[in-house]
Amino acid sequence: MHQIQAFHRDQWDGFDRDPKTYLFNYNGYVKAAGRTVGLGLSAMTEVLGQEQNKFLRLSGSYHLPIGNNILSAGFQVGMVSKTLGTNWVAIDPTDPNIPTTGLSQGGFDANVGLMFYQKDKFYAGISATHLPATDLANLGFATARHFYLMGGYNYDLNNGLVVRSNLLVKSDMNASPAIDVNANVLWNNLLWGGLAFRPGDAIAPMAGMQMALATQQQGRYTYTHGIKMGYSYDVTLSTIKDYSAGSHEFFVTYEFNLGKTPIRRISGDPRLL
């Protein structure tokens, strides 16, 4: 199975030059030496005022079956770059230390993760990002390591409804951890809706759909594919709620798989060949 995904987040709408995130991602599974491995490529851009952060990453993962469950270990390596513009707001515009031209610098970046899961039932994982804590000395900036704990469970109600719950805890080990609590209901494997809650920050209603598209037969190969999309709106609860019109997120995912159709032996009697 392979996935191509595009994601966009427009944060704190209403602020001048509010933060925006753009993400393109590919990931897929392949067989190697009888084992399942994952491959991925992602490109992300973050825009905050005159600051831009860009990430380009290659991913790999290994999946080890344990009974009905799977233990997966993954890693990412790539580059991070930061660019600062020239639109400074300064107390003293004549200060010679204020750059008059744009500044940019990049460096190596790496992430790792570990997850234990059963497909369509539960998952639990831990991950860390920005492991090298890359120092961009020319900009007076260094990436901070972040750590994530996550888990989720699906409750099948046996009437076409599945309740999907999950929890995400993230921290840079300096400030208090940020917590996301999410729950949504999937109906007939087609439509879903729910809520996400980040204490002290926002509550986010969300909705989406997913559907399998028509299967195509191409000789001995069967092409299966489908699409997923979703939207969420963050209602700001923090002290900036009087200034922010909330945040918007949208994603669309295309899934596809090309597999061989097995040759079936209809009869062993040569008279019927």
**How many Å apart are CA 45 and CA 191, to the nearest integer?**
29
Residue 270 has phi, psi (to 5 degrees) of -60, -20
Give, rounded to a whole angstrom, the gap between the first and last alpha carbons of the chain.
Answer: 36
Task: Name the stretches of the chain with pLDDT < 70.
Answer: 260-273
If we measure between CA atoms, which residue out of 79, 75, 83 comes closest to residue 48? 83
**pLDDT in the model for residue 28:** 92
Residue 257 has phi, psi (to 5 degrees) of -150, 135
Residue 58 has phi, psi (to 5 degrees) of -110, 140
| Contact by Cβ (8 Å): 111, 76 | yes
The DSSP letter of residue 139 is G
Total Cβ atoms within 10 A of residue 197: 14
Q: Residue 188: which region, alpha, beta or left (left: phi > 0; alpha: psi -120 to 50)?
A: left
Maximum C-alpha span of the chain: 97
**pLDDT in the model for residue 261:** 53
**How many Å apart are CA 106 and CA 227, to the nearest integer?**
35
Which domains, from first to last, does the chain contain?
2-88+104-153+208-262 (2.40.160)
**How many Å apart are CA 231 and CA 36, to the nearest integer?**
31
Extract the tokens encoding 122.
């539960």
| Contact by Cβ (8 Å): 202, 236 | yes
> Could you write out the DSSP letters of every residue in 144-206?
PPEEEEEEEEEEE-SSSEEEEEEEEEEE-SSSPPEEEEEEEEEETTTEEEEEEEETTTEEEEE
The predicted model scores a pTM of 0.85
**How many Å apart are CA 197 and CA 203, to the nearest integer?**
4
Burial string for 115-148 (b: 16+ CB within 10 Å, else e) reads bbbeeeeebebebebbbeebebeeeebebebbeb
Residue 213 has phi, psi (to 5 degrees) of -95, 170
If we measure between CA atoms, which residue out of 146, 196, 191, 147 comes closest to residue 167? 196
In three-state form (DSSP H/G/I as H, E/B as E, the rest C), the secondary structure along 57-87 is: EEEEEEEEEECCEEEEEEEEEEEEEEEECCC
pLDDT in tens, 204-224: 999 999 999 888 877 778 889
The DSSP letter of residue 238 is S
**pLDDT in the model for residue 59:** 96
**How many Å apart are CA 248 and CA 232, to the nearest integer?**
6
